[in-house]
Amino acid sequence: MGHGGGSDFAATLRELKERTPHSFETLAARTGISRSALHRYCSGQSVPADFATVERFAKRCGADREELVALHRLWVEATEPEAPGSKPQPTRHLQPGPVAQPAVEARPFWSLRNLVGVAVALVVGAGLLGVVRNTAGASGEERLLFSAACEGPVGMGEKGECVREVQRLLVEAGADLDVTGRFIGDTRSLVVAFQTMAGLHDNGVVDNATKRALYDDDVDVSLRTWTRERVADRIRDVFQRDAEEALRTAECQSLLEPLATTSQADATRTWGVFQLSERQLRELDGTPVDSLDPEWNIRAAHRLWSRHGDFRAWTQCNVKVEPVEQL
């Protein structure tokens, strides 16, 4: 448990929920997270093992980028073991009610990477992080990700100038992403999309091969994609009489983000607007790259729907509760 962070984390989730008019049941339907799990997280009884779950709930409650960054920090504190002899940190919220210390459901696999982040921060503080990349075709000495300050892979939970460089390069490739210097779920999802399109190992970690591809002008990868409004309009066009139910399903799956990717417990991924599984892609003679194309993804989802005329292919999303707001 991280320095009392569990209480702050739960209080922040409650604040996010209370800003919406929705019940736990409605939020469960819109996020694909069970009502009981949401209640446990907001009451402080447990902490999600994967920040992607937190991010999905927070976005559904209208959290902006800065709030997601702050929430990620609290999640890290809530899931990190408390160091011996450490002192509790002051509560960050306005008089939160008493909550039980949450039990961490699983320790994140990247927890040791926080040590890397600290090391990078020390390097920056010592003034050794002096060279910033100017162009994609710059020499090796000017490529920050290949400097001593960014030695090794860059991945989930890290922060600082190395992450900023990754985010800047993703933006140069066309991604709609804020350069915050914090590697959280939206950055990981775009890294996976980039790796997939570039034919790299799609592990969501910026290793040397991914660094080279990000800097290489000859790697033809574009992360420019449709807006959520365009995605919603196309879903309505394709599904017609079942358009609103299709929209609710897509929102539950990806928040209408065409480049969304999600890791599953069985080490596979789901892809794109309707989060098609790798098994579904095989059935549809498609690939992950195909599924990141919103036009292909929506039409493929319609093919799955047309088998039975319903949305049984997306059982984790209870789309019968209430309609989503029109975009």
pLDDT per position as a tens digit, 136-167 = 334 444 799 999 999 999 999 999 999 999 99
Q: How many whole angstroms separate alpha carbon 61 and alpha carbon 21?
A: 9
Task: Point out the least confidently predicted range of 5-14, 60-69, 224-233, 261-270.
Answer: 60-69
Give ranges for CATH 1.10.530.10 in the chain. Answer: 228-314
Task: Point out the least confidently predicted range of 16-30, 34-48, 129-143, 264-278.
Answer: 129-143
Q: What pLDDT does residue 93 have?
A: 43
Is the whole-model pTM more than 0.75? no
Fold topology of 228-314? Lysozyme (1.10.530)
Q: How many whole angstroms separate alpha carbon 157 and alpha carbon 59?
A: 18
Task: Point out the least confidently predicted range of 15-19, 89-93, 229-233.
Answer: 89-93
Average pLDDT value for residue range 84-103: 46
**What is 5-87's CATH number?**
1.10.260.40
DSSP 8-state class, residue 96: P
Q: How many whole angstroms separate alpha carbon 60 and alpha carbon 2?
A: 26
Give ranges for CATH 1.10.260.40 in the chain. Answer: 5-87
Handedness of CA 271, 272, 273, 276 (dihedral sign): negative
CB 47 within 8 A of CB 75: yes
Any idea what the Cα angle at residue 198 is, between residues 196 and 201, rounded to 5°? 50
Average pLDDT value for residue range 274-283: 96
Number of alpha carbons in the 13 Å side-chain half-sphere of residue 27:
27
Average pLDDT value for residue range 96-114: 45
Give ranges for CATH 1.10.101.10 in the chain. Answer: 113-215
Secondary structure of the chain: what % helix, strand, coil (to 5)? 50, 5, 45
Strands 46-47 and 103-104: parallel
Higher pLDDT among residues 97 and 248, named by residue: 248
Q: Which residues contact 293 (CB under 8 A, 6 or more apart)?
A: 258, 272
CATH architecture of structural domain 113-215: Orthogonal Bundle (1.10)
Could you report the per-residue pLDDT of 221-248, keeping only the tens digit for each?
999 999 999 999 999 999 999 999 999 9
